[in-house]
Amino acid sequence: MYDYLKALFGTDENGNPVALTFEQLEQAIAANKELKLVNLADGGYVSKDKFDAKETELTGVKQQLATANTTIQSYKDMDIDGIKQSAADWEKKYNDDTAALTAKLAEQEQAHSLDMFLGGYKFTSKAAKDGIRAAIVGKKFPFENGCFIGAKEYMDGLMTNDDYKGAFVVDTPPAPPAPEQPPKPQFSDQHPQQPQRRTKKSLAELMAMKNENPNAAINFD
């Protein structure tokens, strides 16, 4: 374990280390350039595991530094103005696409609401309905909460306008039933049966009747 110290003491003729005084030992240590002795209590010695750890840490720092230098160089080679312009272009495209989508959704909502509104009316033909629809769209009524403000009043005016009222089917309410009339007297051209007038029979006729029916009461007056 301490064989490396034998060189400090030297050996006699028998090969045994020679005893040295403290002064001789100090001189021998100072004369040996390959040997370094330190006091571990003073912290002048670094163990191998600590050295290896520091060496690994230093290697990592060197690698990080090399990576940082490479990244910095890549930034220097970049077209920064081009990157900024590309980012601005993408931002503008996003804003434009979002605005177009919002407008499309609003247009679809208004078209659906207008269909529902016109569904409350009857038209004489599809062409008539399309014409009224175009007239309403052209008015650009404010659209709030799913309703066109002023559209109802506008339609009421069209239904009484000579140029437009022919486009609407107006349901006429049924006429009220006529009041019941008392039964009319029935007249006939036939005269009521008059009682037959009795004619006075002759005496010969009365005698003949008596002969035919002896039991019959015959008035000879």
- Summarised one tens digit per residue, pLDDT across range 29-45 is 777 766 666 665 555 55
With beta carbons less than 8 A apart as the criterion, state whether 159 and 168 touch: yes
Helices (H), the chain: 6-9, 22-31, 48-77, 80-118, 126-139, 151-159, 203-212
Q: Quick check: 144 pLDDT over 60?
A: yes
Q: What is the pLDDT confidence band of residue 172, given thresholds at 50, 70 and 90?
A: confident
- Residue 142 lies inside a defined structural domain of this protein: yes
Q: Output the pLDDT for position 47.
A: 61
**What rounded mean pLDDT belongs to the chain?**
79
Q: For residue 81, give the amino acid letter.
A: D
Q: Dump pLDDT digits (tens) for 186-203.
A: 655 555 555 556 666 666
Whether this model's pTM surpasses 0.75: no
- Residue 195 lies inside a defined structural domain of this protein: no
Q: Output the pLDDT for position 63.
A: 87
Domain count, the chain: 2
- Residue 130 lies inside a defined structural domain of this protein: yes
Read off the pLDDT of each residue in 47-74 and give the average, rounded to a whole number.
81
Q: Quick check: 96 pLDDT over 80?
A: yes
Q: Quick check: 23 pLDDT over 60?
A: yes
Q: What is the pLDDT confidence band of residue 46, given thresholds at 50, 70 and 90?
A: low
Q: Dump pLDDT digits (tens) for 66-77.
A: 888 888 887 777
Q: Whole-angstrom Cα distance, residue 78 to residue 70?
A: 13
Angle at 132 between CA 126 and CA 165, to 5 degrees: 90
25: its two tokens? 């030992």
Handedness of CA 61, 64, 70, 71 (dihedral sign): negative
61: its two tokens? 């720092």
Read off the pLDDT of each residue in 8-16 and give the average, rounded to a whole number.
74
Instruction: Give residue 10's domain range.
Output: 1-37
